[in-house]
Amino acid sequence: MRSRFFFTLLLLGVLAGATWAQENPLPGVQKDAFHLYLLAGQSNMAGRGVLTEQDKTAHPRVFALNRENRWVPAVEPLHFDKPAIVGVGPGLAFGKAMAEADPNVIVGLVPCAVGGSPISVWRPQAHYPATGVHPYDDAIARCRIAGQRGVFKGVLWHQGESDSNAEDGPLYAQRLTELIRRLRQDLSAPDLLFVAGTPADAFIARTPDSRFVIEAIRAAAKVDERVFWVSAAGLACKDDQVHFNTEAARTLGLRYAQAMLRRQNLTLDDPRP
């Protein structure tokens, strides 16, 4: 009877240890050394590039919060907004670049982008019927889980294709400013860095109202030193002329990293992801 009791205790200990290891893949890592980045916006942040072996290779110091809210080694696809079509986005290349620039930190990516979502649904209680989610509320819930282990350093935002029209375009600047303010408030991070990317050249060329989005993110960067923007100029699209191809998505991720690192007084010596 006694041996059975001790065997039960041992088994419970093993199971508890396995659960702890699964939920805490970074034992001993200090909270302030685990740098978190929210990936938000629509499909070009979620990623639609075709996966290659390179995109399935993890970096030892880059993790992602998966759909089950568990930290796992980050590999593409990071997102799960539309599982049938999700692919390579800028997030993984960004994360790898940030980790390479500072060997003293662990990078945690929190994927929350939702393909097709306009900025109007990136606010509390707003429902996006196309995918049946609440983009902003879901993102904040995941960020709060992530924040138990690390510290948020910034937001990567790529969105605006859905707002590049005569009705929503003129409202984009106001909505973007409000989004940034609300994220800082809800994440209790008043100095949170926010970087936004511009749409693809091909999309801009055939969508004149995309100027509203571009002008808005540039204006936000002018009035707030913690907001900045990166250009997608020269980056190629897939045949749909909206979504970046695999190589372009990786390059965009490096541009995000270069911009973020400048604000952290770091540099990216090797631009490869």
> What pLDDT was estimated at residue 29?
83
Q: pLDDT band for position 11 (50/70/90)?
A: very low
> What pLDDT was estimated at residue 26?
72
- Residue 118 domain flag: yes
The answer to which of 13-22, 24-33, 133-142, 176-185 has the lowest mean pLDDT is 13-22
- Residue 14 domain flag: no
CA distances from 184 to 157, 171, 199 (A): 14, 21, 24
Side by side, which strands form the sheet with 34-41? 71-73, 62-65, 106-111, 34-41, 151-158, 193-197, 227-230
Query: What's the pLDDT tens digit per position in 181-207?
Result: 999 999 999 999 999 999 999 999 999
> What pLDDT was estimated at residue 25?
61
For the segment 38-61, the average pLDDT, to the nearest whole number, is 97
73, 67 Cβ separation under 8 angstroms: no
Instruction: Say if residue 19's pLDDT is above 50.
Output: no
- Residue 258 domain flag: yes
For the segment 263-269, the average pLDDT, to the nearest whole number, is 70
- Residue 5 domain flag: no
Instruction: Say if residue 273's pLDDT is above 90.
Output: no
In angstroms, rounded to a whole number, what is the distance separating the alpha carbons of residues 254 and 250?
6
- Residue 273 domain flag: no
Q: pLDDT band for position 78 (50/70/90)?
A: very high
CB atoms within 10 A of CB 116: 16
Domain count of the chain?
Answer: 1
In angstroms, rounded to a whole number, what is the distance separating the alpha carbons of residues 271 and 231?
16
Q: What value does the mean pLDDT of the chain take? A: 90
The answer to which of 3-17, 91-105, 150-164 has the lowest mean pLDDT is 3-17
> What pLDDT was estimated at residue 169?
98
- Angle, helices 172-186 vs 210-223, to 10°: value is 50
- Angle, helices 91-101 vs 246-263, to 10°: value is 40
Q: pLDDT band for position 12 (50/70/90)?
A: very low
Domain boundaries, position 94: 28-263
CATH number at residue 45: 3.40.50.1110
Instruction: Say if residue 2's pLDDT is above 70.
Output: no
DSSP the chain: -HHHHHHHHHHHHHHHHHHHHHH-SSTT--GGGEEEEEEEESHHHH--BPP-GGGGPPPTTEEEE-TTS-EEE--S----SSTTT--B-SHHHHHHHHHHH-TT-EEEEEE---TT--GGGSSTT--BTTTTB-HHHHHHHHHHHHTTTSEEEEEEEE--GGG-STTTGGGHHHHHHHHHHHHHHHTT-TT-EEEEEPPPHHHHHH-TTHHHHHHHHHHHHHH-TTEEEE--TTPPB-TTSSSB-HHHHHHHHHHHHHHHHHHTT---SS---
- Residue 9 domain flag: no
- Residue 79 domain flag: yes
In angstroms, rounded to a whole number, what is the distance separating the alpha carbons of residues 168 and 171?
5
Q: What six digits make up the tokens of 187?
A: 């994440």
The pTM of the full predicted model, rounded to 2 decimals, is: 0.89
State in Å, rounded, how far the first CA of the chain is from the last one: 57
Q: pLDDT band for position 14 (50/70/90)?
A: very low
90, 97 Cβ separation under 8 angstroms: no
> What pLDDT was estimated at residue 269?
57
> What pLDDT was estimated at residue 267?
65
Query: What's the pLDDT tens digit per position in 206-254?
Result: 999 999 999 999 999 999 999 999 999 999 999 999 999 999 999 999 9
For the segment 91-96, the average pLDDT, to the nearest whole number, is 98
CA distances from 239 to 16, 229, 244, 273 (A): 49, 25, 9, 24
- Residue 149 domain flag: yes
Query: What's the pLDDT tens digit per position in 130-185?
Result: 999 999 999 999 999 999 999 999 999 999 999 999 999 999 999 999 999 999 99
